[in-house]
Chains A and B, each alone.
Chain A
Amino acid sequence: MSANRDEDPRIHGIQSKIRVVPNFPYPGIMFQDITTLLLDPKAFKDTVDLFIERYKAKSISVVAGIEARGFIFGPPIALAIGAKFVPLRKPRKLPGEVISEEYILEYGRDCLEMHVGAVEPNERALVVDDLIATGGTLCAAMNLLERAGAEVVECACVIELPDLKGRERLHGKPLYVLVESH
C-alpha cells in the first residue's frame, strides 16, 4: 500500500526532493538519495507527518529504525506517537547483550543486531527505514522483533523499489511507502 499521490498533495513535493544517483554504490545501481529531502524542512516535515498521521492511533509502542537512515526517520515518528525508539544496528555497535539476525545480500551476507530487553513480548512494533529494495534488511529487522516476542504491525519506508519485489519478502506483513521508484 502506498500513499495515494492523487489525494495527498504533499507526496509530490516529497518525491521531487529525492535525488537519484546513478552507479552508486555499485555500477548499475540507481541510488535513491534522501539527503536532499532532508535539506527541505517542509518536505522532511511532510514525510514525517504522513507517517505520524497513519500510526498515531494504532497503539504502537515500539518504533524500530534500521541503521543508519532509519535513525533519521524513526525517532521523529516515535516521539510524536509516544513510542520508544529501538535502533537496529550493524554488528558490534550496540553495547551490552544483543540478539543477532544474519541475512543474505546480493553479494554476501550481513547482520543486524538489537538489544536484549529493548522490546517486550506482545508489544506492537513498527519498522522504519528510508527505502525497501530486496527486502532483506527489513526481513531481518522483523525477525529480530518477532524473536523478542513483539508483533510487527507494519513496515514503513519513504521509498519502495517495486521491481525488486521486497514486499514479497515480508512474510505477509503489510508495507507502507510514500513513494515508488521504478
Chain B
Amino acid sequence: MQNASLESVFYSQKNHISPPFLSPSSSDSLFSPSPERHRVSVATNSGKRSPLNRFNNYQPALHPLRCTVELKQQMATEEAAQIQDPRIAGISSSIRVIPDFPKPGIMFQDITTLLLDPKAFKDTIDLFVERYKGKDISVVAGIEARGFIFGPPIALAIGAKFVPMRKPNKLPETQKFPYKLVSCKEGNVIRVYIASREVISEKYSLEYGTDIMEMHVGAVQPGERALVVDDLIATGGTLCAAIKLLERVGVHVVESACVIELKELKGRERLVDKSLFVLISST
C-alpha cells in the first residue's frame, strides 16, 4: 500500500486557476463508468453548481475539450434550471446559522433544523439521489457524524453500500494482535495494523483543529466507484482525508457531495482536481 504524501494536498499554495473545462486529469469522470482519465469541471472555482440534468443524458467518454457550442448552451440552460430548482430555496431557508460555535468567530451552519423539516430533508436527499442514481456507484462513504445522516438514505436509494468513516478507536477489529504505529517519512500518515483487519488512518488538519479518520480496509474493493458525503465542506481537510483513504485502497472517488459549501474557506481548491457537488454555497 503506497505511503500517502499529504503535504502536496494540504500545504500547497499553488495558484489554482480553473477554466470551465480542464485538460485531462487523474480523477475519474462521472460520465464514464470505465476509468477514463477525463474530468469535466462540473464544479468550478466560481462556486457555480453543476448542472444536474446533465447526468440524466450522459454520454460516455465525453472529452471536455471537445465540448461544442451546443453543449455549452445546453449546460448553461441546465445550470439556470438547476439554480431555479424550487427545492433549493426551501432547503437553504431551513438551515440556521449559529454564531461563535464551536469557537468565537465561526459561523456554524446548523443542519439540524433542516432535519426537523421532513419536506426539506426529503428534498435534500432527492437532489442527491437524482444525481447519482444509475451512475454505477457502489459505495457511499459518510463522514462521522453528520455524514451518517445524509449518506445512508442516499446509499439505500441508489443501491450502494454505506461505509462509515470514523474518528479513531471507534471501529472494532477482529483480533487484537500487537500493533505498531508507523510514521511515514513524507507526511503525517499514521497507520495502525491489527492482524489482517487493517484499519488505515489519515491525519489531517481542520478548520478548527486536527483530527484522525479511520475506515475499514475490507469495506471497499479496488475499482469500486464511490461517493463521499458530508453535511458541509469548509477547508476541505476532512473530505481530502476521506478521499485519500478511499484511494489508497484502490477506490475511484467519483465525487464528493455536501449540502453546504463555505466558499471563502476554499475547500473546493483543496480538493484540487476532485469533483465536488453542493446544494448550497454560502459566503
Which residues does A use to contact B, with CB under 8 Å?
A: 21, 23-25, 31, 33, 35, 38-41, 44-45, 48, 67-69, 71-73, 75-76, 78-79, 82-87, 89, 92-96, 115, 118
Contact = CB atoms under 8 A, between A and B. Distances in A.
Contact of B115 (A21, A25, A76, A87): A87
B71 interface: no
Contact of B145 (A31, A71, A95): A71
Contact of A86 (B116, B164, B173): B116
B283 interface: no
B98 A96 contact: yes
B124 to A, nearest CB: 10
Contacts of B162: 38-39, 44, 72
Given A33-B172, A93-B145, 13 more contacts: A25-B169, A35-B171, A41-B161, A44-B161, A45-B156, A68-B145, A68-B148, A71-B149, A72-B148, A84-B115, A85-B121, A89-B145, A95-B108
B219 A76 contact: no
B155 interface: yes
B55 to A, nearest CB: 21
Interface in B149-188: 149-150, 152-153, 155-156, 159-164, 166, 169-174, 176
Contacts of B211: none
Which among A23, A25, A35 has the highest number of chain B CB atoms within 10 Å?
A: A35
B19 interface: no
- The 9 A-B pairs with the shortest beta carbon distances in the complex, nearest first, are A21-B172, A95-B98, A71-B148, A24-B172, A95-B101, A85-B115, A38-B162, A68-B145, A84-B116
B125 interface: yes
A87 B121 CA distance: 13
A82 B166 CA distance: 28
A93 B172 CA distance: 23
B156 A115 contact: no
Contacts of A44: 152, 155-156, 161-162
24 contacts: A24-B173, A33-B172, A35-B164, A35-B171, A38-B162, A38-B163, A41-B161, A44-B156, A68-B145, A68-B164, A72-B148, A72-B164, A76-B156, A79-B118, A84-B116, A84-B121, A86-B112, A86-B116, A87-B115, A93-B145, A94-B112, A95-B108, A96-B96, A115-B112
B218 to A, nearest CB: 9
A168 B169 CA distance: 30
A62 B31 CA distance: 39
B221 to A, nearest CB: 10
Given A38-B161, A82-B118, A96-B98, A87 B172 contact: no
B216 interface: yes
Given A44-B155, A68-B144, A75 B116 contact: no
A87 B149 contact: yes
A161 to B, nearest CB: 15
A27 B116 CA distance: 39
Given A24-B172, A44-B162, A92-B102, A38 B116 contact: no
B98 A84 contact: no
Contact of A76 (B152, B160, B216): B152
B156 A86 contact: no
Given A40-B161, A79-B125, A84-B118, A35 B173 contact: no
B110 interface: yes
Contacts of B118: 78-79, 82-84
Contact of B152 (A21, A31, A75, A82): A75
A66 B216 CA distance: 22
Nearest to B159: A41
A41 to B, nearest CB: 5
B264 interface: no
A39 B226 CA distance: 13
A76 to B, nearest CB: 5
A37 to B, nearest CB: 9
Contact of A96 (B110, B149, B150, B216): B110
